[in-house]
Amino acid sequence: MAEPDTPGTAHPADDRTGDTPAGDAPPGDSEPEQPAPGDVRTGDAARRAAARAATLVAVPVALVVAALLFWFVNGRLGGSGGSGPTPAVTGNGSGTPAAQATAPVAMPAPSLPEEAAGVCRTLLNGLPQTIRDRARRPVTEGTRQNAAYGDPPITLACGAGPMPSLPPTAIVYGLAGVCWAADESDPDATVWTTLDRRVPVVVTVPRFYQQPGQWTAEFSAPVRASVPDRTDVPTGCR
């Protein structure tokens, strides 16, 4: 027969002295909590995003500042975008105005029919005081029909001589609305004569000046405004 349990006697199977209840492990035995995989690089990613944003802002600002600096320097120093004055064009192409004589220029003054004299007075009154960088000079005779500019002088004579007779194949020049013929026979100058005006106008350009046709074209506007058209113009002028 089994012996009866005696009160107060501990049974070997029930001896749990020192056991810790489940779920109450000592604080020192617990493992530290591990961060989630995505949390490890959170700070680095934020810093990289901030750096990219700063770069995207800094680059356009730098470009704008560079463009403004380029514009400012060019404008102040007379670069290609500046609005500084253009050097005057002289006959020899130097870009620097040469010293010019101011003495009267010797020119003949033939007698003109009344109609031609009136047209020439109107033309002379409408001429400018300068042609490019060439100042107008006095003339010895015919102040109502002659004009001169610069040194050596470019001259204009209104009503001088008959209209030139040209062959049908002659070369003519339309310069700013006026038809001109060019005579190259003079070794010292090119002589230009209007072909489509009732009163002839003759412009003499010394060979000192480059591109004489362009100098002659400077007179086309006042000639067109003051001298009536001819109806029987040469074929090349039509």
pLDDT in tens, 117-160: 999 999 999 999 999 999 999 999 999 999 999 999 999 999 98
What radius of gyration do the chain's Cα atoms show? 51
pLDDT score for 15? 46
pLDDT band for 235, please (50, 70, 90 cuts): confident
The answer, yes or no, to whether residue 76 has pLDDT greater than 50, is no
Average pLDDT, stretch 24-39? 49
Query: Closest Cα to residue 182, out of 161, 203, 197, 209?
Result: 203
The answer, yes or no, to whether residue 69 has pLDDT greater than 50, is yes
pLDDT band for 201, please (50, 70, 90 cuts): very high
pLDDT score for 71? 47
Average pLDDT, stretch 39-61? 58
Instruction: Of 19-23, 207-211, 222-226, give the lowest mean pLDDT range.
Output: 19-23
Three-state DSSP state, 170: coil
Distance, CA of 153 to CA of 107 (rounded, Å): 11
- Distance in angstroms between the alpha carbons of the first and the last residue of the chain: 155
Distance, CA of 194 to CA of 66 (rounded, Å): 55
Between 208 and 55, name the one with better pLDDT: 208
User: Residue 182 gets which letter from DSSP?
Assistant: E
Q: What are phi and psi of 17, to 5 degrees?
A: -60, 130
Handedness of CA 78, 81, 82, 85 (dihedral sign): positive
Length of the chain: 238
Instruction: Of 8-17, 77-86, 169-178, give the lowest mean pLDDT range.
Output: 77-86
Query: Closest Cα to residue 144, out of 163, 122, 115, 113?
Result: 122
Is the model's pTM score more than 0.75?
Answer: no
pLDDT score for 233? 86
pLDDT score for 97? 53
User: Residue 216 gets which letter from DSSP?
Assistant: H
The answer, yes or no, to whether residue 79 has pLDDT greater than 60, is no
Distance, CA of 45 to CA of 219 (rounded, Å): 77
